[in-house]
Amino acid sequence: MDKKLRKAIIAGNWKMNMLASGVKTYSEALNNAMPKEPSCEIVLCVPSPLIPALADAARASRINSGAQDLSEHESGAYTGDVSAAMLRDLGVKYVIIGHSERRAYHGEADLTVNAKVTSALAGGLIPVICVGETDEQREKGLTETLVAFQVKAALCGVSADALKGCVIAYEPVWAIGTGKTATAEEAGRMCGFIRDLIKKDFGEKVSNAVSILYGGSMNAKNAAELLARPDIDGGLIGGASLKPEDFALIITAAG
Ligand code: 13P
């Protein structure tokens, strides 16, 4: 399968960092440092209060707006939550769902992840579904079992057509923010494993269309090797996306 037929995506996850007042300076620096005609889709997933500033800055650039979470509900009495419609209204295109930090610190279970995927799709957003094993699960040899369960649960009830528009990010928890990257071989094998799962359940056409990203300490130095793997279609980048020059180098590495 020619990887070029899939969308390459380089997505930054700012997590709970930066301020709205810094967004313009950041995007100017990124625009100056990155290739004028990047071959990949560029996404920045920022905290909700920063979205309007990002949408403003993104208007004249190749940057697409992304959010880091959304409510599984359409509207109503859900204090603190943000709906798909609210994100769409601000020009958001992508939304991260099921990030390991949400699973770990907010008790987000697989059924909630699935409800959020459904909600994102119904609201016209592209879900970036995060899966990945912890260090302990990896040591116990549970990586494939766990990742398979997370993928299947997240996609439960999603149609083959809708799945073509989804993005999956393999983010081993032990590699997030630790500087310990999975080797390109390991990461590529797991992204291929996820593609095979999709192939079994949804058919080859769908599995060939879904973009699968790697996340976990990806940086300007290791990006090219990771992105060269046939089943790695892009990256979900935390720390290194906070520095526009580093993020630009990763975009450049995507070709
Ligand atoms: P780091 O790139 O900081 O390891 O974070 C990865 C991540 O969690 C992206 O969602």
Least Cα distance to 71 among 101, 106, 103, 112 occurs for: 112
The predicted-structure confidence for 25-48, as pLDDT tens digits, reads as follows: 999 999 999 999 999 999 999 999
In the numeric block, the tokens 């990002």 are attached to 54
Tokens (6 digits) for 191: 């992204």
End-to-end alpha carbon distance in the chain:
18
- Please give the backbone phi and psi of residue 208, each rounded to the nearest 5 degrees, phi first: -75, -20
The predicted-structure confidence for 104-123, as pLDDT tens digits, reads as follows: 999 999 999 999 999 999 99
Model pLDDT, residue 2: 66
> Which DSSP helix (H) or strand (E) runs through 8?
none
DSSP state of 254: T
Q: Which amino acid type is present at position 233?
A: D
Model pLDDT, residue 5: 73
CA distance 49 to 22: 12
Alpha helices, DSSP H only, in 49-109? 51-58, 84-89, 100-105
Tokens (6 digits) for 69: 């979470």
β-pair partners for 237 = 12
Residue 255: pLDDT above 90?
no
**Ligand 1 within 6 A of CB of 244:** no
- Please give the backbone phi and psi of residue 45, each rounded to the nearest 5 degrees, phi first: -100, 110
Model pLDDT, residue 233: 97
β-pair partners for 128 = 96, 167
Closest Cα to atom 2 of ligand 1: 238
Task: Give the distance (Å) from ligand 1 centre to CA of residue 127.
Answer: 17
Task: Give the distance (Å) from ligand 1 centre to CA of residue 252.
Answer: 19
Contact 32, 249 (CB under 8 A): no
What's the average model confidence in pLDDT over 169-192? Answer: 95
Model pLDDT, residue 79: 98
Mean of all residue pLDDT scores within the chain? 96
Least Cα distance to 175 among 135, 227, 235 occurs for: 135
Residue 18: pLDDT above 70?
yes
Model pLDDT, residue 1: 55
Tokens (6 digits) for 123: 């609201």
The predicted-structure confidence for 48-73, as pLDDT tens digits, reads as follows: 999 999 999 988 889 999 999 999 99
What's the average model confidence in pLDDT over 199-219? Answer: 96
The predicted-structure confidence for 218-227, as pLDDT tens digits, reads as follows: 999 999 999 9
Model pLDDT, residue 34: 95
Q: How far is CA 119 from the centre of its chain?
A: 17
Least Cα distance to 188 among 157, 142, 234, 145 occurs for: 234
**Ligand 1 within 6 A of CB of 181:** no
Instruction: For residue 126, name the pLDDT band (cuts at 50, 70, 90).
Output: very high
What's the average model confidence in pLDDT over 199-217? Answer: 96
Task: Give the distance (Å) from ligand 1 centre to CA of residue 172.
Answer: 10
Contact 94, 64 (CB under 8 A): yes
Q: For residue 239, which atom of ligand 1 is closest to its CA?
A: 3
What's the average model confidence in pLDDT over 150-154? Answer: 98
Tokens (6 digits) for 33: 């440092």
CA distance 111 to 226: 30
Contact 150, 110 (CB under 8 A): yes
DSSP state of 42: E
Lowest mean pLDDT among 56-65, 130-139, 153-162, 208-217: 56-65
Substitution site in 10, 18, 217, 222 for ligand 1 pocket (most atoms within 8 Å of beta carbon): 217
What's the average model confidence in pLDDT over 171-181? Answer: 92
Closest Cα to atom 5 of ligand 1: 238
CA distance 143 to 190: 9
Tokens (6 digits) for 66: 């992304």
Share of the chain above pLDDT 90, in %: 93
